[in-house]
Structure 1
Amino acid sequence: MVLLNLINISQFYKQGNEKINVLDKINLEIKKNINVGILGPSGSGKTSFLNIIGLLENCKNGTVIINEINCSELNSEEKTFFRRKNIGFIFQNNQLLEDFTCEENVALPLILNGHSYKKSIMNAQDLLIKLGLKNRLKMKPSLLSGGEQQRVAILRALIKKPKILLSDEPTGSLDDKNAKEVFKQIINLSQNQNTITITATHNHELLSEFDVCYKINKGKLVEF
């Protein structure tokens, strides 16, 4: 079953009278449990590509279909609800909430989706313990190392078992050793949930970890 279908996706911006094509008639089909890499230099359109899939940005032309639902036809409120249920995000700057403990940060997506606070915290604790963060449950993010913070961000994105996980330079702030270790944890957890992962990166050391890899070049999505 095709879980993600992009049809003729185009995105452009205008600078004065100049039209700048960021994405040009991109077509892509991805089945569940596939790990996809998106490479390209800064400004190539990687982030716009992820934002369109994540329903954070409207494309100028084209259709986004996720789990057989035409998301391009949803209104703003419907997109928010769909995104909250079905799409997880990991960012280079983990964007953890500093006033919340690690377990609260991880539990937050479940709480927002209507689960009880107690059950959400228990689920978060189980995941944190599995990733070796048993002694960090009650700690604030500022007291954690960079690698530990990113593990918390990974679990926050995956705790709701999303259909799609979007990662924008998820290991960009880590050294090579931690980058590979953290990325493997992303893949292992995602595969256990049959989640599609789509990762934008410029780290060529991660190429061997992807099932399929594309490069955005002059607005086109090219497999390599």
Structure 2
Amino acid sequence: MGLILFELLDIEQKYVQGELPVNVFKNLKFKIDKPKNIGIIGPSGSGKTSLLNIIGLIEKPKSGKYFYKNLNCLLFNNIEKTEFRKKNIGYIFQNNQLLEDFTVQENIALPLILNGESYKTACKKALSFLKLFGLENRIKFKPGLLSGGEQQRVAVARAMIKKPLILLADEPTGSLDDITAEIVFKNITDLSKKNNTLTIIATHNIKFISKLDVCYKIDRGQLIEI
């Protein structure tokens, strides 16, 4: 039996809406043996964001296990969760979550600074990512001065700059026009392959599915490979 890189085992998650419990996942299983680009599709409310949040250690399931290599991630305390996320996980949030008081360059550089790089070195590396994502003319802009599509590209660059072991992308091209979406999607998948990153992309954009290594559909609380 080969090494399992990543595994969710018997994950159960539920919420309460009004007075009624809503089961999101029931005994969900998800196992990956090596870094690859993975798509997750499903209708709104099916649990795509919840799945990413569980993997990103933002949301804790009601029960189940989560292993990354030999680490049982659901046993981490809050400090250990923060350290694991800081070092290993890049997250492209659906609402971007950029820091309004920082420039575009500083937003992208921040993950490197938090991991010990100097401000000068981190900002220099951020500049190359600004160019890659077509934002070199927005270096000193604050997020509030950017369009929605530009903000989304900043969020993508920020998540990828530290070469994370796991990249979680929640609708990473949702605010982009078709041409820019193609470019950004290619940047994400190409960089992920280059950096040997396990990338999990939640998307509604069916035309991108064929460009991923494998795709799963969330169906009645389970992941079904398609």
Query: How far apart are the structure 1 equivalents of 2:221 and 2:203?
Result: 16
Pairwise CA distance, 1:209: 1.8
Query: How far apart are the structure 2 equivalents of 1:32 and 1:134?
Result: 34
What SS is found at the alignment partner of 1:2?
A: coil
Tell me the percent identity.
59
**Which sections of structure 2, spanning at least 5 residues, go unmatched?**
none
Q: Is the 8 A contact 1:39 1:214 kept in 2?
A: yes
Task: For 1:58-77, list aligned pairs within 5 A.
Answer: 58-77=60-79
Task: For 1:17-96, list aligned pairs within 5 A.
Answer: 18-96=20-98
Tell me the TM-score normalized by structure 2: 0.91
Query: How far apart are the structure 2 equivalents of 1:17 and 1:104?
Result: 44
What SS is found at the alignment partner of 1:23?
A: strand
Query: How far apart are the structure 2 equivalents of 1:171 and 1:131?
Result: 12
**What does residue 117 of structure 1 align with?**
119
Pairwise CA distance, 1:177: 2.5
Q: Is the 8 A contact 2:29 2:222 kept in 1?
A: no
Q: Residue by residue, what CA displacement relative to the aligned partner does 1:47-66 show, whole Å, maximum 9, x if unpaired?
A: 11111000001111111111
Query: How far apart are the structure 1 equivalents of 2:144 and 2:20?
Result: 44
**Which sections of structure 1, spanning at least 5 residues, go unmatched?**
none
**What does residue 9 of structure 1 align with?**
11
Q: Residue by residue, what CA displacement relative to the aligned partner does 1:78-129 show, whole Å, maximum 9, x if unpaired?
A: 1111111111111232222222111101001111222221111111112223
Tell me the TM-score normalized by structure 1: 0.92
Q: Is the 8 A contact 2:133 2:184 kept in 1?
A: no
What SS is found at the alignment partner of 1:7?
A: strand
What SS is found at the alignment partner of 1:24?
A: strand
Residue identity opposite 2:131 in structure 1: I
The more displaced of 68-77 and 90-99 is: 90-99
Task: For 1:89-104, list aligned pairs within 5 A.
Answer: 89-104=91-106
What SS is found at the alignment partner of 2:169?
A: strand
